Structures are given as C-alpha cells and as structure tokens.
Amino acid sequence: MKNTFGNSITITIFGESHGEAVGCVIDGMAPGVEVDEKRIEDILSRRRPQGLTDTARREPDRFKIVSGVFESHTTGTPICILIPNEDKHSSDYERGPARPSHADFSAFQKYHGFEDYRGGGHFSGRITAALTAAGGIFIPALERLGIEVGSHIAECCGISDKSFSFDPSDEIRMLKTKAFPVIDDEKGNEMIKAIEAAREDSDSVGGVIATAVTGVPAGVGEPWFDSLEGEISHAVFSLGGVKGIEFGLGFKSTELRGSVFNDPIRMKDGKAVTLTNNNGGINGGISNGMPILFNTAVKPTPSVARPQQTVDVLKNEECELLIKGRHDPAIIRRICPVIDCVTAFVTADMLSVRYGTDVLLKGF
C-alpha cells in the first residue's frame, strides 16, 4: 500500500476511521517556515460537519504536532501531525456485507479480509482530516508568496452557482469566510434545501467543485509525466468520491474550433497575459501565469439508508444490506477545503521542484 505522495516535498498519510488516530508526516520542508496552529484549526473547522447537510459524526479534531515544528517554525525535519478519533460508533459496522460503491469489496479482495472494515477503515473520508491539517501549513505559506487557493460548489442537484471571474482573487478570499462555499448565497440556499430533501428521502447527492489558484508564476510544472495538471489530478483523485476532473473549459472545449478556444496572448504592464483562460492557466503541463482553474466531479455519497443489493464477502453469497451509522447526504461542502489543501500541497511541491525548497521562505 503506497501512502506517500510528492516529489521535493512529500506527505505520508496513516490511520483508519475507527482506529486510535489519523495523521500525516510531511518531509522535505525547508526550515524556518512559519506554522500558525490557529490557521490549522480554522481550516479543519471548515471541513468539520456543521448541519443537516453533513454527517452526525462530530469529531473535534484536536490535532497535535509531535515533531518538525519548534517555536512556531519548521525545523527542516519530518513534521508529524496526529489527530485522535474521539467520536466512534464501531458497532454500526459489520464484517461481510459489502456496501455498494464503497471500497469494501475491492479492499477485501486486495487485503484478504485483514483490512479494518469499520467506517471504511483506511479508505474513509476521515483520513482527509490529516490532509486538511497539512494544508493549514501550506496554504498560509503560499499566501505569503502571493498565491491563493479556493474552491466553491459550482453545481449540485441541477443548481449552478456563479462562475469564478477572470481574476478570482477576491472571490477566493470571500469563500474562506463562508460556511457553505458558494459565490451566490441564494443559489447556495437552494442547494442546501436540495441536499436536505435527499437526506429526508434517505438518499444522497453529488456535485461539481470549481477550484482556482492565483499567483502561480509561469514556468511551474514538468512536461509529460509530472505535468502540473497530472500532479494536481493525481492528488485530487486520491480523495474518495472524486470521479472526474477537467482543467479550463475541459470537455466543453471539444465543442469549439481552435480559433475560438485558443487564448490570445498580449502584453500588459510588461508581462505576457492571455485575454481568455480556456486552458485553465496551464499549457504543455506548465503554468502560464494565469489563474489555474479546474473542476472536480464528486459522486453521491454511497452510504444511503435504503435496502441495497450486495454480496457477503465472507459467505460469498448475495444478500440485502441496510446501512447503519452516521453519513453525509452530500460531501461537496466538506470536500472543498480538502481539495484546497491537496492543491496547496501540490503547488508548494512543484514550486520546490522548480526553485528549490527554500522557495516557501525566499519566494521565486
């Protein structure tokens, strides 16, 4: 099982949903990067369940940095963050019946039944708490370089939010203040009602998340196998529930002719800029200096409180399953800060590949 990701900077995740704790180890960080635990708390709070649109599991996420940080700065040695699991109802889960669209069946096949099946074990969204805590270090570090990352719910239940503007910097800052991350609050209220309706119907919904990264200089990323698009996609696809990703106009670009899709390049204040951003800020796998834009497709939460057809992996026979436990009718609100955090990590890592690990201290 490979649980480490990154090139110059790496992150390793560990833990299970109903184990003692989840956490991560960050390695390759330059010494001297400021670490503000209040920022880590703030971003974890954005991921935490809040209302009827989220799970009833209420983890306080009392994290502890056990190494790699001294007097509020990185030391240059591995940073280990631990987050205890304090609100567990393990009796809600039974071994055998595989929950449809979860990793239960595929995990059983790979690990021969030795996997921790409670709450999804290592495959649970609970593990994203560790990635979010790590983001609480990387996001402020990028902000000090003038780079900002933000996401909003672009679509849910057929309801569409306003799109990011050509320069989404102000919208990114505004989204960080919102409990339900949308640009248009009226559309957000409609989404909330639709999610609550699905919950009342013992069902779930998915949606599309739009993410923007501003301030990344041109020239970041590697061609071919370590392209900026590829690295971001790799990290985002590691999140449970993600089923698709597109950059810029993505699949809609296939409907246009090249003369319409191409982004014209002009000079502004001595700097080359594009007049449109259909490519989403990346050409040839390398940033072009424009905002990086991508959309993520998130499937409906697979845990629904309805009878479902499945198989018992221990008896190797068909059965019917009614899932118990506490589950999100939609994960789209809570996944927004997680996408922000893994995107911030990839951005910091790719900047370090381009400029060296001291880039988070000295800039580019």
* Cα gap 116→334, rounded to integer Å: 24
Which residue segment(s) compose the domain that 220 sits in?
4-362
Say if residue 34's pLDDT is above 90: yes
Confidence of residue 17 (pLDDT cuts 50, 70, 90): confident
Q: Judge whether 30 and 358 are in contact, CB under 8 Å.
A: yes
pLDDT band, very low/low/confident/very high, at 121 (cuts 50, 70, 90): confident
Q: CA separation (Å) from 245 to 4, 113, 183?
A: 21, 32, 20
The number of domains in the chain is: 1
Q: Is the pLDDT at 143 greater than 90, yes or no?
A: yes
Residue with more model confidence, 99 or 236: 236
pLDDT band (50, 70, 90) for residue 56: low
Residues 131-146, mean pLDDT to the nearest whole number: 98
Q: What is the mean pLDDT of the chain?
A: 93
Please check the confidence at residue 324 and state whether its pLDDT lies above 80: no
If you average pLDDT over residues 159-181, what whole number do you get? 96
pLDDT of residue 364: 86
Q: Tokens representing 46? A: 């954005």
The reported pLDDT for the residue numbered 88 is: 64
pLDDT of residue 91: 67
Q: Using DSSP, state whether 84 is helix, strand or coil.
A: strand
Residue 87's pLDDT is 72
CA distance 262 to 257: 9
- Per-residue pLDDT at 262: 97
pLDDT classification of 94: cutoffs 50, 70, 90 = confident
Q: Is the pLDDT of residue 328 over 90?
A: no
Distances (CA, A) of 197 to 51, 86, 188, 333: 13, 29, 14, 16
DSSP codes, 244-296: EEEETTGGGGGGS-HHHHS--EEEETTEEEES--TTTTEETTEE-SSPEEEEE
Q: Which pLDDT belongs to residue 239?
A: 96
Task: Give the tens place of pLDDT for each residue, 268-292.
Answer: 999 999 999 999 999 999 999 999 9
Residue 1 has pLDDT above 70, yes or no: no
Tell me, what DSSP letter sits at residue 103?
S
Range with lowest mean pLDDT among 77-91, 182-196, 241-255: 77-91
Higher pLDDT, 119 or 169: 169
In degrees, rounded to 5, the angle at the alpha carbon of residue 28 between the alpha carbons of residues 240 and 148 is: 60
What is the per-residue pLDDT for 57? Answer: 64
CATH value at residue 311: 3.60.150.10
Count CA atoms closer than 13 A to 333's CA, side-chain side.
25
* Per-residue model confidence (pLDDT) at position 322: 87
pLDDT in tens, 344-359: 999 999 999 999 999 9
- If pLDDT is split at 50, 70 and 90, which confidence band does 326 have? low
Q: To the nearest whole percent, how much of the chain has pLDDT over 90?
A: 81
Rg (CA), the chain: 21
**Burial grade of 46 (CB within 10 A; 0-12, 13-18, 19 or more):** buried
Which DSSP symbol is given to 17? T
Say what percent of the chain tops pLDDT 70.
Answer: 96
CA triplet 268, 269, 273: central angle to 5 degrees?
30
Whether residue 140 is predicted with pLDDT greater than 80 in this model: the reply is: yes
- With 80 as the cut, is the pLDDT of residue 92 above it? no
Tens digits of per-residue pLDDT, 189-229? Answer: 999 999 999 999 999 999 999 999 999 999 999 999 999 99
